[in-house]
Structure formats: C-alpha cells, structure tokens
Structure 1
Amino acid sequence: MAEPEKGHVNDGRRWQGRPDPNPNPPRTRIRREQSHPPQSHQHREKSQRCLRRPMKSERSSNVPQPLPDIIVAGKYRLLNRIGNGSFGELYRAEGLKYGEQVAIKLERASVKYPMLPREAKIYGILRGGVGIPHVRHYATEGVHNVMVMDLLGPTLEDLLNCCSRTFSMKTTLMLADQILTRVEYLHRKCFIHRDIKPENFLMGLGRHRTQVFMIDFGLAKKFYSLRSQQHIGYTENRDLVGTARYASARAHYAEQGRRDDLESVGYLLLYFQRGRLPWQGIRAQSQVQKYERIAESKANLPLQTLCSGMPIEFYLYLKYCRNLPFYQKPDYVYLHQLFKVLFRNQMMLYDFQYDWVTLQRESKALCDKQKDEKVREKQTNGDRDRTRHGDQQRDSNVHRNGYRTENKDGEQARSSNRNQNTNRDNGLEQTVKSNKNRDRNKERGKGRHEEDKPPKKERRACSCSYHRHKKHHRGRQLELQAERRRHHPEQPEESHRVPPCL
C-alpha cells in the first residue's frame, strides 16, 4: 500500500486536506513517495490549495476568535461578540448578580496609541445628554482596557436592511430631527464627531426604543478650547479621518469642523432615502486612489444633480453646509426648521411610528392571522373527522336487509338525553316562575315603602338659607302664573301643520 502524500493524512477512504503533524518527512520517505504513479493536474492543484498556509486576513475572518476569559469589574461575564468600533471590540455581557445585559468594549492595553481611555473621557464629558449612552465602568484589567456601557438596540444600517434598503420620508425626517439634535449637543460640548455614519447611530431598548443614540467617539476631536478661547486652525493637505462614503468634500484634504459633521448628516439622509450614494462602487488599484476618486466625485457633482427628485429642503441644507465658513457657528435652528416645515407641509404626524415598527406590527398581524387559520383548519378537520366517525357508526347499525337494528346502548343514550331535556325544561319553568314571584314581591315592597312615606306636603323642609330662598322663589313663580291666567286666559294652541291644499 502506498504511503500518503507529504503533509496529508490518509483516513482509509480518500485524501483529506488536513496538514500532517510531521510535514517534513525524512529523506527515505520522500524517495518512496517519488515512486508513486504520476497524479493528475487537477489533483495536484487541489493538494497545493490544501497545503497553502492561509493569509492573516483569512485567518482573522474565517476562524472565530474565542471570548476573553475575564470577569469585568468582578460582576460582568462576556456572552458573545457583537461588533467592532473604530478601535477595539464590542461584546455583549450580563451581570452575575442580577442578570442585566450590558455592552463591554475591550482594547489591548499594549497598543501603541490606546484610544479607549480618551473615548471614556469624552463619554464622561457628554454624560447626561439625551441620546448619549451611560458609561457604568472604565478601568484597565489585566491586558485589556475595559469600558462597560448600556446595551443598545440595532443600528440604523441594520434597520435599513430590514426595510428593503430605503426609508420613507416620514421616517427619514423623524431621524433627521434626532440626529441633528445629537450633533448639536456634541458641538455645544466643543467636540466634533468626524465619523458620522449609520453604524454609529443606534435605537434604544425598552422605554428608549424610539430614541436615537450616538456612539463611537474614538475619532472625535475638540475644536474649541475653553481655556484659551481659541478655535482650531484651518489647514490643508490633511489625510482623511472617518468613513469616505459619508465624509464631507473638504474632509478628504483639509481639517474638519462643525460644518463637515453637518454635511455628513446630509449625505446620511440622502442615503436613507435612496439606499446608496452616487460615489458608491468606485474601484481603484489602491485605497489612496479610491479616496481620490471619491473626493473628485463629491467636488464635481453639482448639488442640484445630487438632490434631484428630492424636496428642495435637502438641497438647501447641503448648500448651507458647504457655504458655511470654517470658524462660524452653524444656525441649528434654521437647519431644524427646514425639515420641520417639510414635515408639516406633507401633513405627517410625529408619532415615532418608524418603518420598522410598522413592518413589525404588520408581520405580527400576518403571523397571528396564519395561526388563526391553522387553528380554524384543525377545528374544521376535527369536526369533519367526528362527523365521518358518526356516519360510520350509524351505518354499522344498519342491517343488511335494510332496517335499523337498535342496540341497548343507543336506547339508553336516547332515553338519558330525553330525561336531560325534560329536566332542563322543568328547571327553565321554575326559573321563570321564581323570577315572576321576585318581581311581584319587589313591586309589593315598593308599594309598602311608598305607603309608609309621609305625603310630600307634610315632609319637613330644610331650614337652610338655600332652601328658604328656593321655596320663596317657587312661591313667587306660582303667584305670577296665577296672575297671568287671571288676566290672559289660555287659548288652545294652533296646529303648526299646514293644512293640505284643497
């Protein structure tokens, strides 16, 4: 029997692509393998593919990485990995004591430029703002920088995928109002985000499920110093910071400011409405060339063409953001009012009924309807089976000669049914009689009660001022009526109907 090929293990059935624990056999083994019959070209290529060492990117994407075996802050245990940020990894965890679920962000403490401490500090500055997650704990534990924060719901990118890659105008405008509010709050704290994208805006859970949260401040930067009262300077020849798809046109070559965050919000709203942006899908040989082509597309594409088919408010929004000077504070009231006026003009109701909420309600109604139909079908089939079984039993009692043979069980069942019907009728008659007697006694008691009461005129009147005044007023009315009858005798009222024409 021939020995297996180098680097492979023979399991007795066929060659497997598993590496041999001893991939470098001795020279004698190689000489024996050279005496094997020549293999086909396809089999040799397959063996080479199996022996090829996977690349680093393939190992990181295909092989699931194990969870770090740590207990965070002595009370949180990691459950599963839920995503990545601009740096570090995000995990779902639960409390050991109460079982509450939280989100934990981990970063290697040995990295050259740790970013998680800076992000935790920014969360502390933004603490208390609407739509800002609450950070419960931050520390360096072992080889990781750890940040524990509130667990949030799905991202807007995930919800866009659930809604067939487009949002309705109502959902887009409601999201625009909340996203602008979050960005305005961040700017009031003297920070710019520099990474506006759908993955960094999440919906809340529970009673916050209609609220938009802004996360991932790893790339945020302070643009104004309260100590020196100075704004950062405008410089060019800068590298892109953030996501190229949603970055502003100037972010590809210059320093970013508040206007660039707002311009990214405008691209984000267009993305919600159309499902894609014109510069998506651009290919190039390198990443640098790709970013250069995206920047050229943003700079050369007129805003009228970019916003074609959209309400004019989107064009006015992007035009204002692009013409805003670098040092000038944006007019957030004007930007909010643009979309609020559009919302009112389209006769929409701000009821937080987003597209995914409506879709979820409709799918739930459809599932309930299908369940009801299945239950109804089962009931119908059961009734049909019972009817068929009764027919078969009745047919079995029919004699071959054509007359029905009565069995004792059938006679007893019918006699018991007759007795039950008779008892039910008797009970119904007794119930009717008892009801009549009760009503008659009630009337008699009512009459006796009325007889025991003193006459109305003999009743003792109240001596309070209100009833005295009321009695005097009533007496005066009676006197006026009597005087009116004496001077103006009553005439029979004429009919209001028009007599028929003769």
Structure 2
Amino acid sequence: MELRVGNKYRLGRKIGSGSFGDIYLGTNITTGEEVAIKLECIKTRHPQLHIESKFYKMMQGGVGIPMIKWCGSEGDYNVMVMELLGPSLEDLFNFCSRRFSLKTVLLLADQLISRIDFIHSRNFIHRDIKPDNFLMGLGKKGNLVYIIDFGLAKKYRDGRTHQHILYRENKNLTGTARYASISTHLGIEQSRRDDLESLGYVLMYFNRGSLPWQGLKAATKRQKYERISEKKMGTPIEELTRGYPGWLRLTANRSYNYSMI
C-alpha cells in the first residue's frame, strides 16, 4: 500500500535518524521532486518535531538552512517535509578513509563557522554540533554545507533586548558527549561559546581522525560521560593540536574570556 503525506508526498525508504524521529526519502507526487520526510510518533513522551519545525521556519532564508516544504500530522505521526540533502560530513569522512586534508578542513571550517554564526545571530544555540549534523547539498549546491537537526536548539537571549538567559548549574548533558564542551559536562547552562568549543573538537576530529576520549568503556552511560569529561579536561590543547598550524591551537583554546558571550 502506498503511504502518502499531506496528500502530496509519497513516503519511501528510511534514510536516517535525527535526535527525535526517523527520516525517510519522499517524492512529490505531482512534480517528482525528491524530499526528506521526518516522522515522529504522536504518542512519544516528549514530542519535539513541531518545535523543531518552528526553529527551521525561523531560520528560513539563511545560507545552508534546509527549506521546509510542509509540516503537520498524518495518522499517528507528526511530519516535517524538507529539502533533500546529500551525505553528512561524517559519511564523507568515512568515505575519505577518516582523514581530511588541511585544505579541506579549512574550507569546511569557513562554512561551519558561518552556519553557527547565523544561528547565533537569530538568538539561538544549536547544542548538538557534530559531523552528522552537517550535510552537503545536491546538484548545483553540492559544495554548500547545510546545518540540520534543531531538536535540541534553544533560545539563549531575548530577540528584542538581547538579554542573555541566566547562568545555571546542575544541568543534564545535552548533545553528543564526544563533542560536548567541558562546561556542558560540568552541568553549566549552554551558550554560544559551547557551540564554538564543540566546533573546535569537530575540526580536530577531522584533522586527527579521532579524539583522545573516543572508545572509553564504562558500566553505565553516566560513568562513560564522566570518563569522557575527565579525559577531555586532562588533555592539553598542545597535545590535541600537536603537529598542526597555530591557528588550530587558537581555535581550540579553552582559556578565552567568554564571559561576554
């Protein structure tokens, strides 16, 4: 039986998963255009897709922001139909034997910084910066990097007054432990600086092929997060960036005074 969404799109095979929900290939029944369709069960304990779709709509028009084509509900699912994109940077990294050239990292860094800066300019932080959440475009946009998955995004300041959210502690880790900032591990409320620190880890991951805190074993997830945090805090910047240009050591420097951001 053919499954349809919004009486306009045909649902195809599963092509991925996001922080909340699964992603399927879809086709516009009228035009034949291929799209990505994200589904989330309506009965899920903490539905997020409707909130995520609002984030996308607020970001529409920005370079490297996927176009949202339809949002709504269909049967037992919340649905978001969006522009179909190409492989993630994690996919490309694996295809390239898990090592990018310095030139490639530089070209990617330029685009990744721009995407994060745009989101911050719209008063939001992403909170899950990782290679899987950056996708390449298709066709004529094949060299353009897109940022996706706003399921964990959060407003960090008032859009009118630019008043920053309050400093808080004892927060649970939000995002992906491998790339999470040290402050996030320590339970401190995230802000722009945490997205940037995560980006620094992503760039070093691309340069090195792995990060020193990968592959750590523990009996529970909590204990694993603690081990990652300890290893991360105990790894000097000089060791993390050994053999690479000075600008990378600058990018990854955790000692900046970020109190204003």
TM-score by length of 2: 0.96
Cα deviation, residue 87, structure 1? 0.6
Alpha-carbon distance in structure 1 between the residues aligned to 2:157 and 2:26: 36
Q: Which residue of 2 aligns with 1:163?
A: 96
User: Aligned residue for 2:174?
Assistant: 241
> Is the CA contact 1:245–1:280 (under 8 Å) kept in the aligned structure 2?
yes
Aligned partner of 2:21 among 88, 92, 106: 88
- Which residue identity does 1:232 align to in structure 2? I
Amino acid at match of 1:234: Y
Of residues 43, 46, 49, the one that matches 1:110 is 43
Change (3 A) 1:151 1:309: same
The yes-or-no answer on 1:288 pairing with 2:222 is yes
Candidates 75, 86, 106, aligned match of 1:153: 86
Dislocated runs of 4+, deviation >6 Å: none
The match for 1:273 is: 207
CA distance in 2, matches of 1:223, 1:244: 21
Bigger Rg, structure 1 or 2: 1
Q: Tell me if the contact between 1:156 and 1:199 (Cα under 8 Å) persists in the aligned partners.
A: yes
Q: Is the 8 A contact 2:9 2:27 kept in 1?
A: yes
Q: CA deviation at 1:322?
A: 4.2
Q: 1:306 aligns with which of 218, 240, 249?
A: 240
Task: Measure the CA separation in 2 of the matches of 1:81 and 1:216.
Answer: 16
1:181 alignment partner in structure 2? 114
The offset of 1:229, in angstroms, is: 4.0
- Once the two structures are superposed, residues 144-193 of structure 1 have per-residue CA deviations (whole angstroms, 9 ceiling, x without a partner) of 11100000000011111111110000100000000000000000000000
For residue 136 of structure 1, what is the aligned residue in structure 2? Answer: 69
**Which of the two has greater strand per residue?**
2
Q: CA separation in 2, counterparts of 1:93 and 1:198?
A: 24
Counterpart of 1:257, as a letter, is: S
SS of 1:213's equivalent in the other structure is strand
Structure 1 residue 115, shift from structure 2 partner: 0.3
The alignment's C-alpha RMSD in Å is: 1.3
1:111 positional shift: 1.7
Partner of 1:445: none
Q: Counterpart of 2:211 in structure 1: which amino acid?
A: L
Q: Is the 8 A contact 2:122 2:159 kept in 1?
A: no
AA in 2 matched with 1:167:
F
Answer 1 or 2: higher relative contact order, Cα 8 Å, separation at least 6. 2
Matched residue count:
260
In structure 2, what is the Cα distance between the partners aligned to 1:279 and 1:198? Answer: 16
In 2: Cα distance, 1:249 partner to 1:191 partner = 20
TM-score after normalising by structure 1 = 0.51
Q: Any idea what SS the aligned residue of 1:224 has?
A: coil
Letter aligned with residue 189 of structure 2: E
Matched-pair identity in %: 52
Alpha-carbon separation, structure 2, partners of 1:266 and 1:142: 42
Query: How far, CA to CA, are the matches of 1:72 and 1:187 in structure 2?
Result: 32
Runs of at least 5 residues in structure 1 that lack an aligned partner in the other structure: 1-67, 330-502
Q: Which residue pairs with 2:105 in the alignment? A: 172
What is aligned with 2:196?
A: 262
Q: 1:95 offset after TM fit, Å?
A: 1.5
